[in-house]
């Protein structure tokens, strides 16, 4: 962080900032407001607030199933991606070897490919190997698209620390495994944990690729919501969305508290 930039920003900048905040918040606030209607349709402003549409979620077992499936999928994909990305990230951060740049490019490539393209490519591929509309196919697809997020944070964390600590342990007779377990891993754990959480959120939110890879029986929550919107927009969507907004807000606080949102989102934690 550079030194403080003088006194408070002048008022035209602050007015712009306020307008920008309203722009960013407006769609989210509208969703939350609409979710409290007691009417059977979307109306704003409305009279008579109620929990009607939150009670309706409990009766909408297809939404609950999709939510639980999304949580399980995100958990599995983030964990698998972390197991793959941690060793790869350590290799990239701590070693210079032939093909290192190419490897980094390969592992980050899902960030460059439009998800709609990955979606049709994986639909076709999984159909051919018998993985279409299976949960393992969906898990494999999610694992590769969230891996770059974990990798970036692992590489950033591993690059940041002094390797002489590990070398000291080695010179005192510690085995490679002991050095990893007792020294290297604890030092990169914050990066790994932040990476896992970002991977979890990205998998949970992913829509475009999942639309192709998920079938009616393996719909994730965003796919379920998208299909519902394409059919009709009702207050149930707003209440489900509001629950998601609140849950995300909690995760956001955790990330901001421990890492700073700007660092973790740009892969510099």
Partner 1 sequence: MDTDRNRLPYWLSSPAALAMLAFVALPLVLTLGLSLYPFVPGTGVGESLTSANYADIARDDYFHVIFARTFGMALLVTALCCLVGVPEAYVLSRLSARWRAVSMVVVLGPLLISVVVRTLGWALLLGNEGVVNKALMAAGLVREPVRMMFTFSGVVVALVHVLVPFMVLAVWASLQKLDAATEQAAASLGAGLPTVLARIVFPQVIPGVLSGGLIVFALAASAFATPAIIGGRRLKVVPTTIYDEFLGNLNWPLGAALATALLVIVLAVSLGANRLVERRWKQVFQ
130: left (phi over 0), alpha (psi -120 to 50) or beta: left
Question: Using CB under 8 A, which of 113, 168, 189, 217 touches partner 1?
Answer: 113
Question: Using CB under 8 A, which of 47, 48, 61, 96 touches partner 1?
Answer: 96
Task: Give first-to-last CA distance, the chain, whole Å.
Answer: 14
133 near partner 1, rule: CB under 8 A: no
130 near partner 1, rule: CB under 8 A: no
Question: Using CB under 8 A, which of 68, 87, 168, 217 touches partner 1?
Answer: 87
Q: Which of 87, 85, 213, 215 is nearest to 142 (CA)?
A: 213
What is the total residue count of the chain? 269
Q: In whole angstroms, how close is the CB of 222 to partner 1 at the nearest point?
A: 5
138 near partner 1, rule: CB under 8 A: no
Whole-angstrom distance, CA of residue 269 vs CA of residue 262: 9
| Contacts (CB under 8 A) with partner 1, residues 161-190 | 163
49 near partner 1, rule: CB under 8 A: no
Whole-angstrom distance, CA of residue 90 vs CA of residue 241: 38
| Contacts (CB under 8 A) with partner 1, residues 198-257 | 201, 204-205, 207-208, 211-212, 221-222, 225-226, 229-230, 233, 237-238, 241, 244-245, 248-249, 251-253, 255-256
User: What three-state secondary structure class fits 90?
Assistant: helix
């Amino acid at each position: 962080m550079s030194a403080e930039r003088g006194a408070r920003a002048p008022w035209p900048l602050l007015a712009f900032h306020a307008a920008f905040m309203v722009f960013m918040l407006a769609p989210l606030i509208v969703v939350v407001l609409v979710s409290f209607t007691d009417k059977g349709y979307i109306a704003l402003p409305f009279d008579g607030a109620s929990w009607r549409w939150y009670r309706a979620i409990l009766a909408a077992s297809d939404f609950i199933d999709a939510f639980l499936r999304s949580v399980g999928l995100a958990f599995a994909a983030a964990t698998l991606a972390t197991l793959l990305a941690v060793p790869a990230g350590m290799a990239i951060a701590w070693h210079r070897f032939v093909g290192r740049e190419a490897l980094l490019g390969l592992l980050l490539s899902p960030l460059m490919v439009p998800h709609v393209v990955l979606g049709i490519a994986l639909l076709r591929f999984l159909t051919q190997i018998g993985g279409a509309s299976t949960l393992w196919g969906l898990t494999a697809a999610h694992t590769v698209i969230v891996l770059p997020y974990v990798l970036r944070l692992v590489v950033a964390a591993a690059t940041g620390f002094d390797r002489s600590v590990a070398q000291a342990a080695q010179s005192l007779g510690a085995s490679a495994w002991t050095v990893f377990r007792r020294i290297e891993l604890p030092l990169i754990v914050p990066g790994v944990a932040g990476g896992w959480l970002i991977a979890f959120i990205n998998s949970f939110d992913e829509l475009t690729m999942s639309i192709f890879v998920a079938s009616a029986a393996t719909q994730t929550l965003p796919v379920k919501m998208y299909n519902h919107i394409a059919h009709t927009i009702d207050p149930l969507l707003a209440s489900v969305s509001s629950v998601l907004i609140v849950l995300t807000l909690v995760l956001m606080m955790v990330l901001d508290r421990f890492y700073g949102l700007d660092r973790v989102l740009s892969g510099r934690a």
